[in-house]
Amino acid sequence: MIEGLSHITFVVSDLDRMTEILTKVLNAREVYSSGGETFSVSQEKFFLIGDIWVAIMKGDALPSRTYNHVAFKIAESDFDDCLKRVTALGLDVRPPRPRVDGEGRSIYFFDHDNHLFELHTGTLSERLQRYALGKEAAK
């Protein structure tokens, strides 16, 4: 039976460049680097973002950008600071998607390998409560 999320892995062309994004934007803590050794498919690093294990492995960038993404929860009070950290690294910040009031705010940005990240202020519970009100509530 599924117990929860084990880890998230991103294949990236430059481990150091992705390390900078993870540590400076997402406050990740690096807990392992394979260095020149390869125990898995390629060189890799492991991080903790909160209690989420994130792995990065050296490889080819994704061929194109899509809306497939990983969203990390942030506090509303941290929104502006997070946006500053993303823009300070020159990352491609995308406009937010259209939203109804009450489902939180998001910062969407791509890394250098076409992975889309979202920093989101809302919760599932808040979104479900808002959606239950229907579109008429937005008027």
- DSSP-assigned letter for residue 34: -
Q: 102 to each of 9, 79, 105, 132, how far by Cα in Å?
A: 31, 15, 9, 11
Cα–Cα distance, 3 to 132 (Å, whole number): 29
44: helix, strand or coil: strand
* Residues acting as catalytic residues: 44
